[in-house]
Structure 1
Amino acid sequence: MYTAKGRLDTDALLTQYSPLVRRLAHQMIAKLPANVELSDLIQVGMMGLNDALGRFDANQGVQFETFATQRIRGAMLDELRGADWMSRGNRRQQREIEAAVHKLEHRLGRVPIESEIAAEMGLSLTDYQDMLGKVRGTQLLYLEDMSGGNGDGDEEFLDRHVGDAEANPMFRLQDRRMREALVAAIEALPEREQYVMSMYYEHDMNLKEIAAVLGVTESRVCQLHSQSIARLRSKLREW
């Protein structure tokens, strides 16, 4: 697109490619905790798009959308790193919950209930549920955990889980055996947690909508979601 004077029409291109920014932001926000605002990612993504417009060189043989996607994702990742979006302590607590679930499943031979997980961690039920609300289970899978990655580095963590499509866990879930393992793990969840996962991931319902269906608070839905993630990750570690 060019202006009447033959110059690149930046405003028109920003408008044309703004849906790309929104799409990438929505893909990324689905893997991030509640304290990350979608509007912030979109704003930063638009800055990345503007940067792409200024740097793009058609002579390099790369399509603009491909080039812009890389710049937009890069801008979003830089923002997330700078904002320290998820503390190391929260990630440690996530792993502690998963470890407790894993131990109990092997010891009991069944899915443990919340009070049992809390007791295994040496916490009261209230404190355990508070922890679930804080960690806000963010990713369905950290596939690198299953191949030796420890996820301790903030930059490495972001690059692995919210980077380009080929590093995206959902991309790799196209593998048939992984899908089958995931389906089996979901079917093993307690009924209420299955409902939460179905409404959240299959029907794109938000926490408020799910809470209304289940007749509980939004914070309780958040707890159930975090606990579901911990259970699934525990199961899939064995895959």
Structure 2
Amino acid sequence: MSSSIGTADIYTASGRRERAGLISQYLPMVRRQALALQVRLPASVEVDDLIQAGIVGLIDAYDRFDATQGASFSTYASQRVHGAMIDELRSRDWLPRSVRRSYRRVEQAMRSLEQILGRSPSEREVADHLEMSINEYRKLMGDANDGLFSSYQEESDDETLASAIDPDLSPYDTPEQAATESATKQRLMEMIGQLPEREQMLLALYYQEELNLKEIGAVMGISESRVSQLHSQAVARLRVKLSW
């Protein structure tokens, strides 16, 4: 690692002490990020697993940090920790294939309806297009929301959405990558501005204010399950818009 933190060989005693000290110093940050993610996820996700993944990300940050890229180590480490936790969630891939297929059908329906209507379709319009009842559609949106972290691999995934709303979560390795990401985030913010007002509010509360689903429901006056449905729907709309 080329930085002010030092270049001690990780296999020497001094290198091991330096790394241990780094983990101790940044463990509270890792724990905060793990807790912030855990409250948004199914109960089966253990916070200790997220913390362990975050520590791996912290060590990776130690090894890869280059002070000449302009970011501070604390910012870079936070980004790497967040990314490692997201990778851990994706590796679990708990979203059933049937739900994944149905969610893709929702995206396809949204894409077709936007072209026909010239605007974002309503829930009822998407459900009718898929020959679903509104309750079936909303249940699908709720089921899909549990797998958002594991199912989105494209550039417009949940992590990119988070980084667009909260710049502190935006990882980059080079100025070129940072520039590309900046353009992507600008486009994404423009797309967010085209969402229904309620979905814009939900995304801001979820990613920027870091409220959990229950807290967002209290703010918006809707149930926690309804928040989950709307979040999944908002992300689907954005994926459709970004695919054009």
Equivalent residue, structure 1, for 2:181: 173
Equivalent residue, structure 1, for 2:242: 236
**1:99 partnered with 2:105:** no
**1:110 partnered with 2:119:** yes
Equivalent residue, structure 2, for 1:155: none
**1:134 partnered with 2:140:** no
Q: Deviations over 1:68-100 (max 9, x none)?
A: 999978975775466333344433333221111
Q: Is this contact kept in 1: 2:40–2:213, CA < 8 A?
A: no
Report the Cα offset of residue 24 of structure 1: 6.3
Q: Is this contact kept in 1: 2:199–2:234, CA < 8 A?
A: yes
Q: Could you say if the C-alpha distance between residues 114 and 17 of structure 1 is closer, same or farther in structure 2, counting changes exceeding 3 Å?
A: same
With structure 2 as the length reference, what TM-score do the two structures score? 0.63
Q: Percent identity?
A: 40
Q: Could you say if the C-alpha distance between residues 166 and 205 of structure 1 is closer, same or farther in structure 2, counting changes exceeding 3 Å?
A: same
Q: Is this contact kept in 2: 1:21–1:49, CA < 8 A?
A: no
The whole-number CA distance in structure 2 between the counterparts of 1:210 and 1:227 is: 16
Q: Deviations over 1:47-67 (max 9, x none)?
A: x489x59xx99xx9989x79x
- Aligned AA (1:130): K
Counterpart secondary structure, 1:205:
coil
**1:216 partnered with 2:210:** no
Q: Is this contact kept in 2: 1:193–1:225, CA < 8 A?
A: yes
Counterpart secondary structure, 1:129:
helix
Q: Is this contact kept in 2: 1:207–1:221, CA < 8 A?
A: yes
The residue correspondences of 1:81-96 to structure 2 (distance < 5 A) are 83-96=92-105
Q: Is this contact kept in 1: 2:30–2:81, CA < 8 A?
A: yes
Equivalent residue, structure 2, for 1:21: 30
The whole-number CA distance in structure 2 between the counterparts of 1:234 and 1:13 is: 41
Unaligned runs of 5+ in 2: 1-12, 68-72, 160-169
Report the Cα offset of residue 128 of structure 1: 0.5
**76-85 or 214-223, which moves further after superposition?**
76-85
Equivalent residue, structure 1, for 2:7: none
The whole-number CA distance in structure 1 between the counterparts of 2:65 and 2:212 is: 41
Q: Is this contact kept in 1: 2:107–2:237, CA < 8 A?
A: yes
CA RMSD of aligned residues (A): 4.5
Q: Is this contact kept in 2: 1:90–1:135, CA < 8 A?
A: yes
- Select 2:197's aligned residue among 191, 197, 200: 191
Q: Deviations over 1:15-54 (max 9, x none)?
A: 2231353366479x49x972244442114444x489x59x
Counterpart secondary structure, 2:140:
helix
Equivalent residue, structure 1, for 2:128: 119
The residue correspondences of 1:72-87 to structure 2 (distance < 5 A) are 79-80=88-89, 83-87=92-96
The whole-number CA distance in structure 2 between the counterparts of 1:230 and 1:166 is: 25
Count of aligned pairs: 205
Q: Is this contact kept in 1: 2:80–2:171, CA < 8 A?
A: no
The whole-number CA distance in structure 2 between the counterparts of 1:77 and 1:211 is: 24
- Aligned AA (1:118): A
Q: Deviations over 1:148-170 (max 9, x none)?
A: xxx9xxxxxx9xxxxx9349xx9
The whole-number CA distance in structure 2 between the counterparts of 1:217 and 1:78 is: 29
